[in-house]
Amino acid sequence: MPSVTAAPYNSSDARRLAQALRAEQLGLYGFADDPDITPATDFDPPQGLFLIVRVGEEAVGCGGIRLLDEHTAEIKRMYVTDEARQRGIGRYLLEHLEQHALSRTASRIVLETGRRNTAALALYQRAGYRLCPSYVPGRDQDINRAMTKPLGSSSP
């Protein structure tokens, strides 16, 4: 059974998992955002939160949520290690991030993922997220997919 705990974005487990996410993105696209592009303070409570998922003592997943404005929360740096995939850990993490967003003033969640990341796209769609116009100026729509979900809506 996995467990989830809050951790600073600059903790050793968060850094290791964020770098693994970056390496995966480099493999898929040939480039990737540097994890440091997002300030660690963006995930500081109460406006943000960064979570680590563990199976036993091993950190196998991570994800953060931050408020973009009073109505919109954004999921960032969500990642599950290859070895931990297909075990419900991504959904477990997503549910915890959504619960944090529900406890804030936001009425919707947004996120970005790559179009080649079919597993992530499928996870988000199963959880009720839908494609939407990009909310990040200058993003290449041939690479990135923006998604949104109204808070309080149930999953299909």
- Identify whether the C-beta of residue 71 lies closer than 8 Å to the C-beta of residue 62: no
CATH number at residue 68: 3.40.630.30
The residue-averaged pLDDT of 65-79 equals: 95
Residue 98 domain-assigned (yes or no): yes
The pLDDT, as a whole number, for residue 32 is 84
**Reported confidence tier of residue 42, pLDDT bands at 50, 70, 90:** very high
Residues 69 and 56: their CA atoms lie apart, in Å, by 36
The tally of domains found in the chain comes to 1
Residue-number span of the structural domain to which 34 is assigned: 2-109
Residue 39 domain-assigned (yes or no): yes
Residue 26 domain-assigned (yes or no): yes
Q: Which region among 68-72, 85-89, 137-141 has the lowest average model confidence (pLDDT)? A: 137-141
pLDDT, tens digit, for every residue of 120-136? 999 999 999 999 999 88
